[in-house]
Structure 1
């Protein structure tokens, strides 16, 4: 007798039905349940109080939207049940490798000059024989299928259409996080007509293609994503959280290089491989979440090193680095004030941030295709809005410092 499906009530999508037992088992695994303790927006939660949603709910949403894509005629006719299952599982687990505070955790890689990729950790969790996720997958999938899952998540899968559902410029991942982030933050820019977009999707010449009548919905989606970046993801307080986090780990890294004797060895023992530019083993990584890392960080306020103590205090009291209005106070003035307290170490508290242009659309990376009377065209060939923004470059350098010197 088959088990009943799992029905999850979601604030964004309503009732989400999950029929596959492998997906239900994966959701109940300890590695997936850990995502309940990983905040989706990291620094954004300190700007928008209700934006406390997690990677757990987001991953469920991505699974749901991929399921909706697969229910359309072009997908149901082209792909068998096994292929559809694999891409749904890839959507479900695409973020299982995120570290504490999501993308903020990858700031440690900037300090050590090594890349910390949540996609790589997702693959590690999926492929490691010591994880519950891997043991569950081995019950339902063969080794080559498990390998395919990792390829889909890392963007290396041989089928560009299936891969595009997980990662592209109009994928289930982006659709869900825009909807979810907009709803929880109270910012309306992320609203998108996803049902219309998905209902009209087709497959032509081994490409994901949309008819011209969907053009305005796609333009609205791209413009909404651009505004979400400006309003939420690149909010000065959110960036300030990231930079405070980075500078704290910069000080941890620098002190460790000089064999500093830490009072609290817990965080050093926990993150020693990362601080050395290496990957953590899967068991250690599984133990990391927002709660465990923040608990360890809070203990650093008792350290004797004044710089480390001050950075830890800033992080735990929401007193993050603040954006400098250079029309009111210049860098020389800031440096002068900081030198009085921190002497030659003042640079820890004076941080530059290079903001690269947020592009509305990138025609060189997995382009969006539109079916026209004259054949299949790339989006920027059809859309006047997208074409007109091609040359839009807004690269900027910002400076952040502690709030006290801005008063």
Structure 2
């Protein structure tokens, strides 16, 4: 048995392992007899290749087995987990999304539980294609390692990363180390969860004062529709399965606005679905100044943790979606280097805002940002909520070219 593929034995000794097996027992089996757990998962993968409730239950159990292997520190467990996620999960249309999620989850768990010396042999064989599931799980693993500052300088991992770039894998564009602007990724601080109320918003960020000049400038804004840019801006929330379609909108101004007039009065004058009915309920809209690292972290968290519907994307893809969204908000082309984009972000004016409307439920999670470009003549707005509504699917961008 080599380090990149695993061939199951024909042993039937693991027949008792199934959906009812507890997490504690799975950890014991993974630690003492990992091949037994692997063989049981292989059989379940065959069941999961079909359709219906039986296949779905089998896939859920396979995920539990793969997680137990990934979280048990040993080279064999790491190999078994990667083989399950990268080679054996069903790939049909009915299971593609779930198998994709499992691959990303297994990569994240391997990074947290395994030592680098146990993971390095998994990259001994370079991939021939970017869209193979075995390539995908390793690409996710490299992405997860980058978030903890590991993997660079290891010849096998460096060579694999270079091959991913040659093959055009989407994750290959990301830096191999965490940038300073990403310092908050995956970090949770007690008391600093989602901002749900105006009081929480004011307590964390400096509030902008409403002004007549801001309102006057906002009334001159003209919508500028850009479907591709809207989809990129909304991607962290869509991928994370947030309950309602995000609103991503862009506007141009006939003359530059004073940055001090980029306030809640300005935002309230924009034709935004998230602010429809503002002023008809008790409580006023609030906007506060924020910084690009806060915005980037919120975008990352939206995909990393997933929404109430439970579609957590793992660190590698959450990072990719967050950067794509930030680039879209700043209207940067993909060839701008990440460090340069981080520097340009400092020249933008960033706002967080919320209001009392049908959009902002102040319940599960609401996010809303407005961005003023360095030339002070273009504005981007992104709003998302994780509280369900009867709205349809897709990204809201109803503006017409101005």
Normalised by the size of structure 1, how large is the TM-score?
0.26
Normalised by the size of structure 2, how large is the TM-score?
0.26
Higher share of residues assigned helix: 1
